[in-house]
Amino acid sequence: MEQTLKSWSPIIPKSTAGDHWSETLRHAIRDPLQLCDRLGLDPDQLPGGRQGLQQGHGLFRTLVPEPFLQLMEPGNPQDPLLLQVLPLGSENQPQPGFVTDPLQEQQANPLPGLIHKYTSRVLLTTSGACAVNCRYCFRRHFPYADNSLSEAATEQIIHYLQQHPQVNEIILSGGDPLATPDARLAKRIRQLEQLPQLKRLRIHTRLPVVIPSRINDELLTWLSATRLQTLMVLHINHPQEISPELEKALARLHQRGVILLNQSVLLRGVNDNPVTLGNLSERLFEQKVMPYYLHAFDPVAGAAHFAIDDQQAKRIYQQLLARLPGYLVPRLVREQPDQPSKTPLGW
């Protein structure tokens, strides 16, 4: 069923708007019962009740920063932002086909901190930390402890890249790469950009969406200093996530010449209709962010309640094509193990 946007207007309190991003993260909600209390929800009335919340939390810890919480509608247990972060007892129930490593990334993990799946680019797991724990995360079971990007690991990666001259793009991922302090990020980029083969730096992040103050002067300084062409791929699933504070942060990035793209995940109950997806594309483009990918759901263990089958995904996508000009329609894709690129689903 098609949905329309809520008419209420979230307000980010002044007490968090000017905080340093790491301080905001430090005070994030880490208890599902506190999350319910802040939103005026009775945990016993939610799916699985109080016990289900605690069971899901035990599997994958709750983490919701204040600015993201303020974008949720109080009293609404079906709020699309809440559904992305609310732990459920059903996460503990095994489902056929749902596995801990749906993309088989550990088979493409030749060195600590490095994933090399595609010919011309490599992904660095810059940080295992995130600013928000999304329940559908396909890396919720990833062995981050074995993949820290230490000084020694960075030296190994540089040597690996020298042996693979076809690689011309570095992707910072995680976790969330922007959970790493700017001084450390700047140092890593200075080391990597000494390799003449590298042309582009891509940063995959959700942190500015949930804590917009992460786009600070320190970050903009080192982004401006690198010789690499820089792209930031945001992770925004619903237009409700685009706050006034995020709009200001995106404008600062755009002014510094950072190319802005967005990738979303098609999620049951969150954005599985053409109205929401169409509104998201419109809002993104208003902020000079290009809709890039709409990912079919990855079957990760613990998140089966978000799954949408491919036929339904294609129907939604066809309706989206009919609503928007082509340049506003993200590519519907599925990432599959052992494939040389993402697999288009929309045609």
Q: Tell me: the pLDDT tens digits for 129-185?
A: 899 999 988 665 556 556 667 888 899 999 999 999 999 999 999 889 999 999 999
Per DSSP bridges, beta strands 331-334 and 343-344 are antiparallel
Decide: 191 and 154 in contact? Cβ < 8 Å.
yes
pLDDT of residue 310: 92
Q: Is the pLDDT of residue 18 over 60?
A: no
pLDDT tens digits along 75-132: 999 999 999 999 998 888 888 877 666 566 666 788 988 999 989 999 999 888 899 9
Distance CA 280, CA 271 (A): 9
Structural domains for the chain: 20-92 (no CATH), 105-344 (3.20.20.70)
SS (H, E, C) the chain: CCCCCCCCCCCCCHHHHCCCHHHHHHCCECCHHHHHHHCCCCHHHCCCHHHHHHHHHHHCCCCECHHHHCCCCCCCCCCHHHHHHCCCHHHHCCCCCCECCCCCHHHHCCECCEEEEECCEEEEEEECCCCCCCCCCCCCCCCHHHCCCCHHHHHHHHHHHHCCCCCCEEEEEECCHHHCCHHHHHHHHHHHCCCCCCCEEEEEECHHHHCHHHCCHHHHHHHHHCCCEEEEEEECCCHHHCCHHHHHHHHHHHHCCCEEEEEEECCCCCCCCHHHHHHHHHHHHHCCCEEEEEECCCCECCCHHHCCCHHHHHHHHHHHHHHCCHHHCCEEEECCCCCCCCEECCC
Which of 111-120, 137-146, 299-308, 336-345 shows the highest mean pLDDT?
Answer: 111-120
Of residues 206 and 112, more confidence is placed in 206
Distance CA 188, CA 346 (A): 37
Determine if residue 36 is labeled as part of a ligand binding site.
no
Average pLDDT for 16-45: 89
Q: Is the pLDDT of residue 59 over 60?
A: yes
* Token couple for 250: 């995106």
pLDDT of residue 150: 82
Q: Is 260 left (phi over 0), alpha (psi -120 to 50) or beta?
A: beta
Determine if residue 137 is labeled as part of a ligand binding site.
yes
Of residues 21 and 17, more confidence is placed in 21
pLDDT of residue 16: 41
Mean pLDDT, the chain, rounded, equals 89
Q: Quickly state the pLDDT bin for 74 (edges 50, 70, 90).
A: very high
**With pLDDT > 70 as the criterion, what percentage of the chain qualifies?**
88
pLDDT of residue 9: 35
Determine if residue 134 is labeled as part of a ligand binding site.
yes
Q: How far apart are the first and last CA of the chain?
A: 22
The strand pairing partners of 118, in sequence order, are 121
Of residues 145 and 212, more confidence is placed in 212
pLDDT of residue 30: 97
Q: What global pTM score does this model have?
A: 0.91
pLDDT of residue 6: 37
pLDDT of residue 170: 98
